[in-house]
A and B are shown apart, each in its own frame.
Chain A
Amino acid sequence: MLEAVVPWVADALVLLGLLILTLAVWGVLRMDNVYASLHAASKTTALGLGPLLIAAGLENGTILLRGLLVLGFLLLTAPVAAAAIARAYWRKYDQTTRPSNRQPEASVDASATADQHVASPD
């Protein structure tokens, strides 16, 4: 009984993962703001690959363990990579061109140099 259900569960998980990954690509195509694109891309990475990796390992314990290893690694690294891209974009384009940041000139300079010192102790 339970053996007969397993392939159908794997099918459902694969289709769910594909749906979430499609939503990720569609979100990146649709959003014209980089932060919104990152929002769409980074969250769906782990959420879409999780069902795919679990579906691959439903009939084989070795594949399941290795898939969970890959999934844990992705859960750890996907937010860090997205934060790195967002931080780089902010430092390159938004930090100095925003009017709200530019108004008090002296304090912006002070905070920028302080941030520089914190970011790069060399």
Chain B
Amino acid sequence: MHVMVFYIATLWLALLIAVGVALTLRARTILLRVLGLEIVTTMLVGLLALFAGGRDSPHYLDAALVLALLAFVGTLAAARFDAEGRIF
């Protein structure tokens, strides 16, 4: 991709992450907060994919994979704990 598009996309994704953080902080219930964190994680994975393409290095995607995995486990645990009072 071109350098200009890379910069614009990086700035735009940072803006989306800021909106996601604001959404998480202003959430009314715990589950809405979990949803906000899910959105922030999605945007972070997108940002890491963008950096992998722009810097031409596949190592960013390792971090993206680990981030997606940890966010999945955390979402499941938090949702179950909030609804039923225990995880397992």
Binding site for B on A (CB under 8 A): 7, 10-11, 14-15, 17-18, 21-22, 24-25, 28-29, 34, 37-38, 41, 45, 48-49, 52-53, 55-60, 62-63, 66-67, 69-70, 73-74, 77, 80-81, 84-85, 87-89, 91-92, 119-120
Inter-chain contact B35/A38, CB cutoff 8 Å: yes
Binding site for A on B (CB under 8 A): 1-2, 5-6, 9, 12-13, 16, 19-20, 23, 29, 31-32, 34-36, 38-39, 42-43, 45-46, 49-50, 52-54, 56-58, 61-62, 64-65, 68-69, 71-72, 75-76, 79-80, 82-84
Min Cβ gap B27→A in Å is: 10
Residues of A within 8 A of B38 (CB): 41, 45, 81, 85
Residues of A within 8 A of B61 (CB): 53, 56, 63, 66-67, 69-70
Residues of A within 8 A of B6 (CB): 14
Inter-chain contact A63/B53, CB cutoff 8 Å: yes
Residue of A15, A66, A74 contacting most chain B CB atoms (<10 Å): A66
Q: A24-B42, A62-B58, A91-B84 are in contact. Are A84 and B23 (CB under 8 A)?
A: no
23 contacts between A and B (CB under 8 A): A17-B46, A21-B43, A28-B36, A29-B23, A34-B29, A34-B35, A41-B42, A49-B42, A53-B49, A55-B1, A56-B61, A59-B53, A63-B56, A66-B62, A70-B45, A73-B68, A73-B69, A77-B69, A77-B72, A85-B79, A88-B31, A88-B80, A120-B84
Q: Is the interface of B mostly helix, strand, loop or mixed?
A: helix
Inter-chain contact B75/A49, CB cutoff 8 Å: no
Q: A11-B1, A81-B75, A84-B80 are in contact. Are A55 and B39 (CB under 8 A)?
A: no
Nearest-neighbor residue (CB-CB) of A85 within chain B: B79
Bound-complex Cα distance A34 to B31 (A):
9
Kindly identify which residue among A10, A25, A34, A87 contacts B53, using a CB–CB cutoff of 8 Å: A10
